[in-house]
Each structure stands twice: as C-alpha cells, then as structure tokens.
Amino acid sequence: MSMLTPPGMGGKYKVTGAAYPRMTRPRRRRRIVLVVLGSIIGLALIAYGAVQLIDVFGGDADKRKTAAAAKDCATPAPKAGSAASAAPQVVLPPPGGITVNVYNATPRAGLAKAVGDELKNRGFAIGKVGNAPADFDKKVPGAGILVGSPQTDKAAFSVLGTNLAGATQQTDTRETADIDLILGDAFKELTPKADADKALAALANPQPAPAKKC
C-alpha cells in the first residue's frame, strides 16, 4: 500500500504516485468574465467613434456658418440712393383718380364741406358732400372711417388715408370705386399737407431692409 493511500482504502481507491491529484477550476466563470470585458471594450469603442463623428460634422457646420457670415460682412452695403439700394417703386393711383364722398357724422355744422374743399385743393376728386347716413350719424367715435367696395384698390385707401391719421377702413356692398370719408367725433383736422405728401412718398418708395450688422 502506498503511503498516499489512507488507511482502510485500497483497491480502486488506492492512490499511487508521488503527488496528490490536482482539482481543475470550472471554466464557466472565466468565460463570463471575458464576455463582460469584451462588451465593455466594444461599447467604449462605439461611444468614442460617435463622439469623433459629432466633432467632425459639427465642426464643418460651424466653419460654414462662420465663412458665410464673414462673406456677408465683407460685402459692402450699397450706398443710399444707389440703384442697388433702392427698393422697387410702388405704383399708386393719383389723387385725381380717387373720388371721395365726404360725410359729417358729428354735430359740427359745415364740417363736410370744409374738408371736401381741402381735399379738392390736394387734388382729389370730390363726389357727394353732406351729413352721414343714419347708420353712421353720431356713431363714429374715432377721427373717421373710409368706406369702399371690396373691389376697391387697397392702394386708393392708403393714398386717401395719408390725409387723415387714425382713420379706419371697411367695405360695403357698393360696386363703384368711390370711397366715403365719414368724419367722426375725434376729428380735428386733416393731416398737414406737407406730412401727407411725405407719407405718400414713403408709400411709393418703400425703404429697403436694413443691412446686417457684423
């Protein structure tokens, strides 16, 4: 019997040799550790690549924006009065092509005639002059109302409106191109002719958009 064999154990349990047998550790735990480490490394590589792509494309976009802004600032703005700076001129109907009916919706006698005469002196064609219709008489709290057909040229309203600041606009069922000017309780006087002419010139020659500041 070998010295390695415990007493009482022989036969198939007999241990021979000069060393004890070694027990191998299970390999499953080692495989799990390797899989986890591989997954962590893979995720780290994917995240790094995504960051690099964002930096590349984001940087290119920023460079393009900076280059475009520098180009805009490098181009000198056209001088005032030059052909490049002038906005397209708007064609407005002349005052003589606008027929105005002047109605007085206030208790002030003779107001419609006085305003009609002044508008005539400013070049407008004057139609009817008198007291306002019952729908408006003593019912206009503002400076005045401009009433016309839905088909009336909007520019005609604008031209007449330069002579009465604060006048509102509305339409009715008429089919003619004339416009009613109904004077309200807040009316004091027409816009001074010099100011009306300036407003008319601004309508005909709109200012271009301001240049971008760098």
**Phi, psi (5° rounding) for residue 102?**
-105, 120
- Any residues with CB less than 8 A from the CB of 206 and at least 6 apart, and which? 87, 90
Which DSSP letter does residue 81 get? T
Q: Which tokens belong to 97?
A: 């092509």
The tens-digit pLDDT sequence of the chain (214 residues) is 555 555 655 555 555 555 555 555 556 677 777 777 777 887 777 777 666 656 555 555 566 666 666 565 555 555 655 544 555 678 999 999 999 999 999 999 999 999 999 999 999 999 999 999 999 999 999 999 999 999 999 999 999 999 999 999 999 999 999 999 999 999 999 999 999 999 999 999 987 766 666 6
Helix (H) / strand (E) containing 130: strand 125-131
The letter for the amino acid at 123 is G
Do 170 and 135 touch, CB atoms closer than 8 A? no
**Phi, psi (5° rounding) for residue 28?**
-65, -40
Q: Which tokens belong to 193?
A: 């002719």
What's the confidence (pLDDT) of residue 39? Answer: 76
What's the confidence (pLDDT) of residue 89? Answer: 79
Q: Which tokens belong to 144?
A: 């005045």
Among residues 72, 125, 129, which one has the least CA distance to residue 103? 129
What's the confidence (pLDDT) of residue 31? Answer: 74
Q: How far is the C-alpha of 210 from the C-alpha of 197, rounded, in Å?
A: 24
Q: What is the distance between the terminal CA atoms of the chain, rounded to a whole angstrom?
A: 102
Do 146 and 172 touch, CB atoms closer than 8 A? no
Give the three-state DSSP class for 174: coil
Q: Which residues are registered as beta bridge partners of 100?
A: 126, 179
Q: What does pTM read for this prediction? A: 0.60
